[in-house]
Amino acid sequence: MHSPDNYLKDFVETFIYFKDFMPDHSIERVIPTGHIFIIFELDGMERNTFDNDTLKPNNTFRKVWISGMHKNYISISAHQKSEMFVIQFKASGAYPFLHLPVHEINEKIFHAEELLGEEILELREALVRSESEEEKFRLAEDWLNKRFDKEKEPPGDMLDFIHKLQQRSQTVSNNIAALMDEYPYTRKHLIDMFKLYVGLTPKYYHRILRFNEILKQIEEKEKISWAQVSLDCGFSDQAHFIKDFRHFSGFNPKEFIDAGFNNEEKNFFPLDRE
């Protein structure tokens, strides 16, 4: 993993590179984190997405694809000896590089050349040829530098709001409403800015933050008080907590723990491990 140390750090969460990854499963469930990704396969293997209910393949991807903001979990393939490179944007970071309103790619995974043309395939070829991870990170930064449109930077007032929301990921919904009232313009203006830069409404983005906070709280714990977790994360009652938990993960809390997912890498959960 590599985080840029220039102005890109305001837009890019991290770059991720791995090679010879050997998972013990072939399908995994991915939990939304509130990020947009550009994903490069560098090994020549096709990747699949699957229907969440039947786990039958519903799409195939090669070379480079973009994963927009997702509102709940998706199911993807995992491969032996895989090599991949990923650009993970911050919540409001993608617009200055993709050059289109982020809400237009909500709930979508699509081949990157549809939006970015041949240049993204040329970047992939350069990543394949490069011999070190340092060079790969530099190539990605150089490409982003060329794509950057300063006129599409997110406004400071909205960035301040996002920062406050991230700091208060356990805040209850009525406090989010109060936080929205602190925004210097109208709620409609805030929602419009969120759709343009983040893709989601502030309240939905907060729900994703809160669920990821839940995953942090239960990570690798041997004993979990769901009532306490529910209370700590600002849910009005346990029924509401369980409903949100199932919405974002596809499991109820007991199923999640029984499968040992609290001991897994956060946001990636194997579905067909034997």
What string of pLDDT tens digits covers the 274 residues of the chain? 999 989 999 999 999 999 999 999 999 999 999 999 999 999 999 999 999 999 999 999 999 999 999 999 999 999 999 999 999 999 999 999 999 999 999 999 999 999 999 999 999 999 999 999 999 999 999 999 999 999 999 999 999 999 999 987 666 666 888 899 999 999 999 999 999 999 999 999 999 999 999 998 888 777 888 888 888 888 888 899 999 999 999 999 999 999 989 887 778 999 998 6
Q: Identify the pLDDT of residue 173.
A: 61
Q: What is the 8-class DSSP label of residue 10?
A: G
DSSP reduced 3-state for 263: helix
pLDDT of the residue at 172: 60
- Are the C-beta atoms of 251 and 73 separated by less than 8 Å? no
- Partners of residue 18 on adjacent β-strands: 84
Single-letter residue type at 85:
F
Query: Is residue 58 classed as helix, strand or coil in its secondary structure?
Result: strand
Q: DSSP string covering 80-122, please?
A: TTEEEEEEEE-TT-SHHHH-S-GGGGTT-EEETHHHHTHHHHH
Domains annotated for the chain, with CATH where assigned, are: 7-152 (2.60.120), 156-270 (1.10.10.60)
Per-residue pLDDT tens over the stretch 33-66: 999 999 999 999 999 999 999 999 999 999 999 9
- Give the orientation angle of helix 187-197 with respect to helix 173-182, to 10 degrees: 100
pLDDT at 170: 65
For residue 224, how far is the Cα from the chain centroid?
26
CB under 8 A, 24+ apart: contacts of 136-142: 136/15, 136/17, 136/85, 137/2, 137/15, 137/17, 140/15, 140/85, 140/87, 141/4, 141/6, 141/8
Question: Would you say the C-alpha torsion 41, 71, 203, 155 has a positive or negative sign?
Answer: positive
Output the pLDDT for position 171: 62
pLDDT of residue 177: 85
Number of helical H runs and strand E runs in the chain: 11, 10
pLDDT score for 273: 82
